Amino acid sequence: MLKIKYINHILEELDVIKDMLGRNVFAVDTSRSPYALLKPVSITSVKITEGFWKMRIDAVFQNTLMSIYRKLEETDRINRFRWAARGLPIQSDKTVFPFDDTDVYKWIEACAYKLAQAPDENLEKLISQIISEIGSAQEPDGYLFTELHGKHDLRWKNLAFNHEMYTAGHLIQAAIAWYRATGDSSLLNISTKFADLITETFKPDGLRGACGHPNIEMALVELYRETGKRDYLDCAIYLVEERGRSLIRSDGERGFITVYNIFGGAEYLVDHQPFKELKEIAGHAVRALYLNCGVTDIYAEIGDKELLLTLHRLWEDMTQYKMYITGGVGSRYITESFGEPYELPNMRAYSETCAAIANFMWNWRMLGVTCDAKFTDIMERTIYNGILSGISLNGTRFFYMNPLASRGQYTRQEWFLCACCPPNIARLLTSLPGYIYSVSNEGIWMHFYTSNTSSIKFNNIDVKITVKTDFPWNEKAEILVDPSQEEKFTVFLYIPSWCDNPVVRVNKERVKATPKTYLPINRVWRSNTLIEVAFPMKVKFNIANPLLEENFGKVALSRGPLIYCFEEVDNPKVNLWNILITDEKDVKLSYLNDLSSIVGLQVNGIELIEGLRDYLYLPINELKVRSKKIKLKAIPYFAWANRGMGSMRVWIPSTKRFTILESRLRSKKEARMKVRKTKR
């Protein structure tokens, strides 16, 4: 039961929220989308008050955003606009990719979400200045792409790799966020000018083709939502329909075909089949998933069932065959692509941070048009594991690849030559309050458990919701629902898939709950109704499908939504590549001194003592093997690589997986022999 003092504190917090701009800031605004069953709750209505996500978001607010800004300056990414404005060429070896403008745009978007929650005059001024510099780089007809500034002849010529519309998409997204957060329309005006040029250029009686890297599709739908201008939606639809028709090429660039083929040809660009004919998720992971985001957005507006069917098909393929247990996707290293089914190597996992983010973004949209908790399940898996591993605990270092095993070769970096991931994770984490709740005709949906105080409008009443929890470390959460007037509606609670025995009580009365569904609590809500949930976090030993050959005989530990890994720093005297877990029952929680407020695990295992460096292949009879019992310590995967370099593994061989089978065979045999004996 919440203490009165705590409630008073929360009420004060709510007042702060009320005093804020009062603007609705959505990352995805489906408020008026006819086929969106869920409507968003503004980032400004939800205040994460403490605990797990508060720490993560604070790190972004306090460290990440300005750290990225410094890098944007240092690596000449803002200079690109300044140079373009003055007609100067780009002459910097720190910015070499045509899409480098987008790092600036994504950072502005992240800052906009921050400003919506925590006003910061200096930051706002800084960005206003940069927006004006961006504007100066815009060509008279609206074209804004510093890579080809002033080079009219080269526009739209290399649709495959130039990323012009991908860049426009990020400009539009930043502009909308900026406008929603601050009310300043300057960037929005710049972006609509560019969007208008695109919609006038790419249309049935205009240019054919689409952008090699999707993103513009979801940006145009969002711009339609913001401005009401139907052309933007139509253009997004057109660009989806133009895929899979071999129009995404490069005109006359020498060596293009070689590069194109190395990358994987049309499939890499998701241009190998028309969208509605796609059977399997394939190609560059971020491309494929951003495209799916755009198509889901289109579906939310026009309700084309064939689009939704295709999206379901692709989702099934991805989640059944091509996703890491962390929610990471795009396993294929060199081309950042989806692989074949079960092609999910641990150490050579690519699993780009941006791909995990795109996975989250797509599942959010799918949830919105279906209300199916299976999408929330993937969002939870992704945000707690494959996304969060992309940023260090202090928010200043990033993983581009998120491998599931390391022999010490991987470490987070402050920046990358291709720097898409840092500002992308920043914009996701700063907008996270917007992903906690939704509203539907029936009531209020709660997707994530995190301490927050929120004020959600439903049927013209204000419903104050206060959550207090130490999730994901602790299984319990207290949810206080406090409508401004008594009202009958439903509160839909997400019941996590990993919880076998969820316990939900409303005003102390038990309500039956089923994992991986939304529990609908339909009642007349009176002031200060208390929902108590407990999702027992039994440590699970997860196996992979046998067809995922590399993980055969191995287990990955999880507790709650968190996947665990074994890091060298916690197991300093152990060769992590020569261990087995021997016991799947005796698991202890283990609190780590050097990683504050993180719950570790300890399991029993054995270490094999073999001449590790002595052979590559060896007849088994020549193996001199000894083994010793050890205790193995695991930490949540997202938190690895925060204490120096070293080995790490998620999947660990387990003797159980083998001995259980043998003992069953043995006991069958014994049973048969018993039967025979009895017969005699």
Span 467-506, contacts to a second copy by CB under 8 A: 498
Please check whether residue 527 is in contact with residue 479, taking contact to mean a CB–CB distance below 8 angstroms: no
Contacts of 66 (CB under 8 A, 6+ apart): none
Tokens describing residue 567 = 């890091």
Q: How far is the CB of 600 from a second copy (least distance, A)?
A: 20
Q: How far is the CB of 441 from a second copy (least distance, A)?
A: 34
**Cα-Cα-Cα-Cα dihedral sign, residues 299, 300, 302, 305:** positive
| Pairwise CA distance, residues 588 & 567, whole Å | 17
Residues 591-620 that bind a second copy (CB under 8 A): 606, 608, 610, 612-613, 615-620
Residues 630-669 that bind a second copy (CB under 8 A): 653-662, 664-665
Q: Is 680 exposed, middle or buried (0-12, 13-18, 19+ CB in 10 A)?
A: exposed
- One of 246, 545, 597, 667 touching a second copy (CB under 8 A): 545
Residues 570-589 that bind a second copy (CB under 8 A): 575, 577-578, 580, 582, 584
| Pairwise CA distance, residues 550 & 377, whole Å | 25
409 binds a second copy (CB under 8 A): yes
**Cα-Cα-Cα-Cα dihedral sign, residues 273, 275, 281, 284:** positive
Q: How far is the CB of 313 from a second copy (least distance, A)?
A: 15
Number of residues that bind a second copy (CB under 8 A): 81
Q: How far is the CB of 341 from a second copy (least distance, A)?
A: 8
C-beta closer to a second copy: residue 394 or 545: 545
How many Cα atoms sit within 13 Å of 511 on the Cβ side? Answer: 22
| Other residues' Cβ atoms within 10 Å of the Cβ of residue 621 | 5
408 binds a second copy (CB under 8 A): no
Residues 292-331 that bind a second copy (CB under 8 A): 319-321, 323, 325
Please check whether residue 268 is in contact with residue 285, taking contact to mean a CB–CB distance below 8 angstroms: no
Please check whether residue 338 is in contact with residue 273, taking contact to mean a CB–CB distance below 8 angstroms: no
* Distances in whole angstroms, Cα of residue 230 to Cα of each of 25, 225, 233, 234: 21, 9, 5, 6
Residues 523-542: x where in contact with a second copy by CB under 8 A, - otherwise, as a string: -----------------xxx
- One of 532, 550, 590, 645 touching a second copy (CB under 8 A): 550
Q: What DSSP character marks residue 359?
A: H
C-beta closer to a second copy: residue 324 or 449: 324
- Residue 302, helix vs strand vs coil: helix
Residues 245-284 that bind a second copy (CB under 8 A): 253-259, 262-263
552 binds a second copy (CB under 8 A): yes
Please check whether residue 649 is in contact with residue 576, taking contact to mean a CB–CB distance below 8 angstroms: yes
Residues 331-370: x where in contact with a second copy by CB under 8 A, - otherwise, as a string: --xxx---xxx-x-xxxx----------------------
Q: How far is the CB of 658 from a second copy (least distance, A)?
A: 4
Tokens describing residue 465 = 């919701």
Q: How far is the CB of 573 from a second copy (least distance, A)?
A: 16
Q: How far is the CB of 397 from a second copy (least distance, A)?
A: 22
59 binds a second copy (CB under 8 A): no
Q: How far is the CB of 545 from a second copy (least distance, A)?
A: 5
